[in-house]
Amino acid sequence: MILIDQLIGKYNTISLIGMVKNAGKTTLLNELIDQAYWEKTILGLTSIGYDGEKTDSVTNTPKPTIEVFPGTLVATAQSLLNREHLRYEVLEVTDLTTVFGPIVIVRMRNHAEVELIGPRSNHGIEKVSRIMKNWGAKLVLIDGALDRVSSASPALADGVFLSTGAALSRDMNQVVNQTLHRINLLRLKSVTTNLSDFKLLKENNQIGIMDDKGHIDVIHLKTGINAGSELKNHLKNNSKYIFFPGAVTYSTLKDVVDLTHGKVAVVVSDGSKLFVERDNYHELLAKGLKIFVLDEINLIGVSINPFSPKGYYFDSEILKQRLMEKVKDLKVINVFES
Amino acid sequence: MFFRFSTDEKLDIDYILDKVNISSVYGKSRKVDIKPYFDKDALESEYDLMDLVIENLLKHKLTFTKVRNVLKDIKEIRGTINRLEDGVVLSEVEFFELKKFAFGVRLLNNLLLPLKNLLDILPKRLLDVEKILDPKDDKIPTFYIYDNYSLVLKETREEIEKLNKDIENEKAVLFSALSKKYDLKIRPNGEIRISKSNSHYEEIVQDDNFAYLSENYGLVVFTINLNHGYSEWMKKLNKLKEIEQSEEEKVKIDLSNQLKSYVSLFLENIDRIGHLDFILGKASFAIAYNLIRPEITMGDAFEIEEGINIPVADRLRREGLEYTPIDICLERGASVITGSNMGGKTVSLKLMGQIAAMAQHGLFVPAKRVKFPLRDYIYISVGDTQDMSLGLSSFAGEMVALSEIVNQSDKRGLILVDELSRGTNPQEGYAISRSITDYLNDSNSICVFTSHFDGITKGKVHYQVRGLKNINFDNMIEGQSVIENLHHQMDFTLERVDDKEQVPKEAIPIAQMLGLNEIIISKAKEYLIQNQKGGNNNE
């Protein structure tokens, strides 16, 4: 199956995120790069913050490096380009900084392996994507992240691939259920009113409560974590929405549901900011939790890696089928399918 | 130290400098390092340049918008220049930065050369650098180690390309054969992943075309062994790549050596770009705030016509109130300003300091006309808690600073003191104030004091705030706060009244307007009459 053909022209930027380390995200990325090579399509590549290390820093399992071909555009930190084997043309040096030097945009001139360390912010990712498009990239692939610390969100990409796999659990049911739960969160629907007000809160990184007349009470808290007592002081009878700009956990959602009995809907920046387990989430839904996002994520596919670094593996066809039954409109790809 | 005892902070100089918008890193450094001029000629020539830039700015707005964009895009290269000077071999990214800088200089020249007389602040073209880093003369601001740099490099790369093509062709044939034979997908880099349970696994292990690479996720990774059957080609290719790499290294050394002779030209341009950017910022500020070029004199007369305290005027405008411009003529020796509370004495005192500081730092000034004699230093004392952080009371803080300032009054300073000796009892406060002002009246500095003490003005230039002289309590505007009403009725004009020694008594009516209760006010009026009958306590 040639996937890249279906993506070119339809999307400008695609973000790849993984449910867990070793979910096969980098394998999918390399697969797309290979396909682009066969199809003679110019790609732009970058990542959110750190990624593309030779060895996975957590599990120490071998992690495929990002392989690039002549003509590919790459946005990465300057010191990672000081490698003898790399041949490239420097196109732009940005003012985006990392501990490894500024983010530089280059056009590769040889077939080589590169390490990607891209910008950490939404603004930075948007900027390097735009630059690479201007220099001729047909599609920009962003090696993304799904964690609490990343400030750059997959929501800013036109399309998102979620990678999942056996690394998540020994129990295939668990893998299927957790993945479907994550898909649900990622595909949460956008709030329909007062979008510009919520956008402003997000830009200012502020928690805010909106009442039925659209008035906003800004709460000065760094995160929503353990904010129960503070929220209590601000929630009124006529409160309608509560907006959180950053990561939101079960305890915060529980605080809101317990304090308001579901009368106040939670709005988060996007579905990748929610960190609540499936059972807890369903418990809260039963208690009346209403939840919306500001920016919808356009999930276009799920990739599965049937192998776990711990040695066990699933029958990839069964795993694939079980996911496809539940999410009929998504592409489900086995990254190791030959 | 030009500003004594945090005078710059008290004058809100940072607020004023914030109005000077800078585009480039070099302009920013220039602004951070801003220094006072002590040489009239140097200051005048800076002013001449500003006049020129302002004239051009007004005529060619679009050009200067483009200039700003170019300036914004000029990156910091001082680190690279240092490395170049130290003989370090630069990297591709660094060559790129130098090329981009040279292109930026070219763009600035293209934009500004057609305008009049700006040659003095234009960066100098780096024609040789452009030639070195753009050997194909294609004017594209990107960089790589171009073929043109070395014949060996050019030929090696051509050979590599040719060989690569041959190998690719062979590879394609081989890949497709193997792919068919074993029903495999081969990656562009020649890798295959195969499960041990695959029916072809054993055959592949035996096939010399494959070499074992690694094993993960239960899959074995093989790579197509191009050395098998193509070993001569691969050896040749690797050899060529080695030549390419060492040749590139030679080119980098050579380029670094060539560029080293332009270090001083780069540095001069950095300076010129910083200056151009800073002047542009100052000129735009002058246009936006209607600033004027002050007349710099060698004498001791400091004259301000319709001067404006920018931070206060900005704040009033935001509150919907109007700022009254101030006229004042100062000379060597001591001048005293007296008058109403809320009559703007402190604001006017700061205005004098701001205009002096701006003029001396090469900025135009907010007034209709200014005559300014360059100063050796500026000192202002205004009622604030700055000195208390040093563990001193406000009186002690004032005396510590004044004793130092008085000792240097033979220099040509500007000394501004708000409510001298306010922090102690009126009798002694008066005595100290009068003797300090008497002493400074004979000094070489221009000294201005605000005071509520009668009699201190004797023998000095005396300005009075016109204040509430013409107040009409029936004229209060409804719906406005007392403060707003007071502001509207207050006449901030400074009048020269050298013959008057009594200070205006407007504290009681102002307190009344501000809502102090009737019983207290009428008592206060009684005490005032008693006091005046019994002779002036201060005298």
Q: Are B150 and B243 in contact (CB under 8 A)?
A: no
Same domain, yes or no: A21 and A154: yes
Contact state of B92 with A81 under an 8 Å Cβ cutoff: yes
B180 at A interface, C-beta within 8 A = no
Residue with tokens 């691969």: B234
CA dist A46 and B506 (Å) reads 71
User: Cβ contacts (< 8 Å) between A69 and chain B: which residues?
Assistant: 188
Please tell me the total count of domains within chain B. Answer: 3
CA distances from B355 to A159, B3, B360, B495 (A): 58, 13, 8, 20
CATH of residue A254's domain is 3.40.140
Answer with the residue of higher pLDDT: B186 or B244.
B244
Same domain, yes or no: A45 and A150: yes
Same domain, yes or no: A268 and A323: no
Q: Are B341 and B507 in contact (CB under 8 A)?
A: yes
DSSP state of A165: E
B199 at A interface, C-beta within 8 A = no
**Two tokens, residue B169:** 């062709």
Pairing mode of beta strands A88-98, A101-108 = antiparallel
Smallest Cα–Cα separation from B66: which of B18, B120, B115?
B115
Does B241 fall in a domain?
A: yes
Does B445 fall in a domain?
A: yes
Contact state of A89 with B142 under an 8 Å Cβ cutoff: yes
User: Cβ contacts (< 8 Å) between A307 and chain B: which residues?
Assistant: 216-219
Residue B480: CB atoms within 10 Å:
13
Q: Are A143 and A116 in contact (CB under 8 A)?
A: yes
Find the helix packing angle between B263-288 and B61-73, rounded to 10°. Answer: 130
Same domain, yes or no: B414 and B360: yes
Same domain, yes or no: A179 and A259: no
CA dist B126 and B272 (Å) reads 13
**Two tokens, residue B499:** 């013959």
Same domain, yes or no: A247 and A150: no
Same domain, yes or no: B332 and B266: no
Task: Read off the pLDDT of residues B71-102 as tens digits, 9 standing for 90 and up.
Answer: 999 999 999 999 999 999 999 999 999 999 99
Q: What are phi and psi of A322, to 5 degrees?
A: -65, -35
Does B40 fall in a domain?
A: yes
Task: Suggest the residue from A28, A90, A163 to mutate for an interface test with chain B (most B CBs closer than 10 A).
Answer: A90
pLDDT band at B196 (very low <50, low <70, confident <90, very high): confident
Does B476 fall in a domain?
A: yes
pLDDT band at B217 (very low <50, low <70, confident <90, very high): low
Among chain B residues, CA nearest to A166: B217
What is the distance in angstroms between the Cα of A81 and the nearest Cα belonging to chain B?
9
**Two tokens, residue A62:** 């071998």
Among chain B residues, CA nearest to A92: B142
Q: Is B146 exposed, middle or buried (0-12, 13-18, 19+ CB in 10 A)?
A: middle
Contact state of B189 with A93 under an 8 Å Cβ cutoff: no
Smallest Cα–Cα separation from B104: which of B114, B116, B93, B112?
B112
A136 at B interface, C-beta within 8 A = no
Domain that holds residue A23: 4-186+297-334
Same domain, yes or no: A103 and A213: no
CA dist B115 and B67 (Å) reads 12
For residue B390, pLDDT beyond 60: no
Among chain B residues, CA nearest to A24: B217
Same domain, yes or no: B307 and B165: no
Task: Read off the pLDDT of residues B432-442 as tens digits, 9 standing for 90 and up.
Answer: 888 899 999 99
Same domain, yes or no: B88 and B203: no
pLDDT score for A297: 93
Domain that holds residue B93: 20-126+262-285
CA dist B464 and A41 (Å) reads 80
CA dist A66 and A60 (Å) reads 17
A90 at B interface, C-beta within 8 A = yes
Task: Tell me what the mean pLDDT of segment B347-358 comes to.
Answer: 95
The H helix count followed by the E strand count for chain B is: 19, 14
Cα angle, residue A12 at apex, residues A6 and A18 outer, rounded to 5°: 75
Contact state of B93 with A61 under an 8 Å Cβ cutoff: no
CA dist B11 and B153 (Å) reads 63
Same domain, yes or no: B177 and B55: no
Same domain, yes or no: B411 and B306: yes
**Two tokens, residue B346:** 């402190």
Same domain, yes or no: B303 and B275: no
Contact state of B93 with A62 under an 8 Å Cβ cutoff: no
What is the distance in angstroms between the Cα of A5 and the nearest Cα belonging to chain B?
17
A315 at B interface, C-beta within 8 A = no
Lowest mean pLDDT among A95-104, B294-303, B453-462: B453-462
pLDDT score for B182: 87
Same domain, yes or no: A178 and A208: no
Does B1 fall in a domain?
A: no
pLDDT band at B387 (very low <50, low <70, confident <90, very high): low
**Which three-class secondary structure state does DSSP give residue B384?**
coil
Cα angle, residue B151 at apex, residues B256 and B96 outer, rounded to 5°: 35
A338 at B interface, C-beta within 8 A = yes
What is the distance in angstroms between the Cα of A182 and the nearest Cα belonging to chain B?
24
User: Cβ contacts (< 8 Å) between A127 and chain B: which residues?
Assistant: none
Q: Residue B97: which of A37, A67, A93 has the nearest Cβ?
A: A93
CA distances from B73 to B67, B103, B270 (A): 10, 11, 13
Q: What are phi and psi of B449, to 5 degrees?
A: -125, 145
**Which three-class secondary structure state does DSSP give residue B175?**
helix
pLDDT score for A223: 65
Task: Read off the pLDDT of residues B126-162 as tens digits, 9 standing for 90 and up.
Answer: 999 999 999 999 999 999 999 999 999 999 999 999 9
Same domain, yes or no: B107 and B192: no
Average pLDDT, chain B: 88
Residue with tokens 């509560």: A242
Among chain B residues, CA nearest to A22: B217
What is the distance in angstroms between the Cα of B140 and the nearest Cα belonging to chain A?
9
Residues of chain A with pLDDT under 50: 51-63, 338
Answer with the residue of higher pLDDT: A277 or B342.
A277
Same domain, yes or no: B425 and B335: yes
Same domain, yes or no: A208 and A108: no
Same domain, yes or no: A97 and A214: no
The H helix count followed by the E strand count for chain A is: 9, 18
Q: Residue A338: which of B185, B214, B216 has the nearest Cβ?
A: B185
CATH of residue B473's domain is 3.40.50.300
pLDDT score for B88: 95
Q: Are B75 and B97 in contact (CB under 8 A)?
A: yes
CATH of residue A26's domain is 3.40.50
Same domain, yes or no: B277 and B297: no
CA distances from B83 to B88, B89, B256, B257, B514 (A): 5, 8, 10, 12, 66
Contact state of A90 with B185 under an 8 Å Cβ cutoff: no
Task: Read off the pLDDT of residues B479-531 as tens digits, 9 standing for 90 and up.
Answer: 777 777 777 777 888 888 877 766 777 788 778 877 888 888 888 888 888 87
pLDDT score for A58: 47
B95 at A interface, C-beta within 8 A = yes
CATH of residue B29's domain is 1.10.1420.10
pLDDT score for B506: 75
What is the distance in angstroms between the Cα of B122 and the nearest Cα belonging to chain A?
25
pLDDT score for A53: 44
Contact state of B218 with A311 under an 8 Å Cβ cutoff: yes
Contact state of A109 with B184 under an 8 Å Cβ cutoff: no
Contact state of B96 with A93 under an 8 Å Cβ cutoff: yes
Does B536 fall in a domain?
A: no
User: Cβ contacts (< 8 Å) between B144 and chain A: which residues?
Assistant: 87-90, 109
DSSP state of B91: P
A62 at B interface, C-beta within 8 A = yes
Same domain, yes or no: A8 and A102: yes
Among chain B residues, CA nearest to A40: B188
CA dist B255 and B250 (Å) reads 9
DSSP state of B517: -
Reported ipTM: the value is 0.79
Task: Read off the pLDDT of residues B35-81 as tens digits, 9 standing for 90 and up.
Answer: 999 999 999 999 999 999 999 999 999 999 999 999 999 999 999 99
Does B515 fall in a domain?
A: no
**Two tokens, residue B398:** 């004032």
What is the distance in angstroms between the Cα of A131 and the nearest Cα belonging to chain B?
13
Among chain A residues, CA nearest to B140: A91
Same domain, yes or no: B117 and B180: no
DSSP state of B271: H
Same domain, yes or no: B90 and B217: no
CA dist A266 and A256 (Å) reads 8
CA distances from B446 to A266, B393, B410 (A): 65, 27, 11
Task: Tell me what the mean pLDDT of segment B20-45 comes to.
Answer: 96
What is the distance in angstroms between the Cα of B506 and the nearest Cα belonging to chain A?
45
What is the distance in angstroms between the Cα of B112 and the nearest Cα belonging to chain A?
25
With a CB cutoff of 8 Å and minimum separation 6, the contacts of B31 are B17, B20, B22, B278, B281
Q: Residue B245: which of A34, A67, A84 has the nearest Cβ?
A: A84
pLDDT score for A61: 44
* Partners of A13 in the β-ladder: A140
What is the distance in angstroms between the Cα of A89 and the nearest Cα belonging to chain B?
5
CA dist B357 and B29 (Å) reads 19
A–B: how many Cβ contacts below 8 A?
Answer: 62
What is the distance in angstroms between the Cα of B141 and the nearest Cα belonging to chain A?
7
Same domain, yes or no: A142 and A201: no
With a CB cutoff of 8 Å and minimum separation 6, the contacts of A110 are A70, A85, A86, A87, A88
Task: Suggest the residue from A66, A87, A114 to mutate for an interface test with chain B (most B CBs closer than 10 A).
Answer: A87
A54 at B interface, C-beta within 8 A = no
Does B11 fall in a domain?
A: no
DSSP state of B458: T
Please tell me the total count of domains within chain A. Answer: 2
Contact state of A34 with B214 under an 8 Å Cβ cutoff: no
B189 at A interface, C-beta within 8 A = yes
Contact state of A62 with B219 under an 8 Å Cβ cutoff: no
